[in-house]
Structure 1
């Protein structure tokens, strides 16, 4: 077999393998946050874990995002507008302050407070644990610059 023919066979085989793997799980369609192009977001999303609270990571089609589970039970978006003063409860997990919006329970939105760029995590509370998810993300998110801290926290 000539070198050119071997290369053609390898390319064809690789294309079939990639097509087969891509067919296993669909891409999660998301919108990028306004500041998703912040270089600090790239430093976070480049190191997102392959699993979160037992959920496998999936491909997304938006910059600075991540998704886990099928259907997606955890969605991360970096570069959202940093929240200002809020009446939402604030919880600290491994040194990172998160505002908690449970207005659409069992779907919860956690937004970093006092960090720029801000990060949001949406999760399905019926499928995954908020503490386990935020705890796993804290080493990455905790690298973002801090410019404020929560002053009112719920009793533990």
Structure 2
């Protein structure tokens, strides 16, 4: 009896030590859009050497430790804009992104796609590599329907 209790205890300790709490991410307003399922299934498991972590909300992802790269599908679909627009072409996809500079982050929103994906990149993580990070998400962003808008 003592041996089975010890094995049970060891198993529980092992199971608990391997678990981490999900990263809390606020879902986007339209996270329940059925198109977000395909978009989120297409996102990579790793970006720029940062592993993807489990999150608390539907249609979200988090990469790395604090400060994290955060991805949300189902943000407000942008209309015509005068904001900086970056066209990213990879062998797998061609996607347009509105890139907004904020205090400590770059906020990029897939442009011309519905549902829209948002990628929030801390400047400390990739101030000079925003394009490379967006290239990793471009194939999944293009799984959303086109709206007809594109970068000029």
Instruction: Give yes or no for the alignment of 1:35 onto 2:35.
Output: no
| Moved segments of 4+, more than 3 Å | 9-12
By how many angstroms is 1:46 displaced?
2.6
* TM-score, scaled relative to structure 2: 0.82
Specify which of 13, 16, 20 is matched with residue 17 of structure 2.
20
Unaligned runs of 5+ in 2: none
Gaps in structure 1 of 5+ consecutive residues:
none
Partner SS for 2:124: coil
SS at match of 2:150: coil
Q: In the aligned structure 1, how far is the partner of 2:108 from the partner of 2:85?
A: 9
Q: Which has the higher strand share?
A: 2
In structure 2, do the counterparts of structure 1 residues 42 and 12 end up closer, same or farther at CA, with 3 Å as the change threshold? farther
TM-score, length-normalised on structure 1? 0.80
Aligned positions, number: 143
Pick 1 or 2: higher relative contact order, CA cutoff 8 A, min separation 6. 2
Measured on the aligned residues, the alpha-carbon RMSD in Å equals 2.3
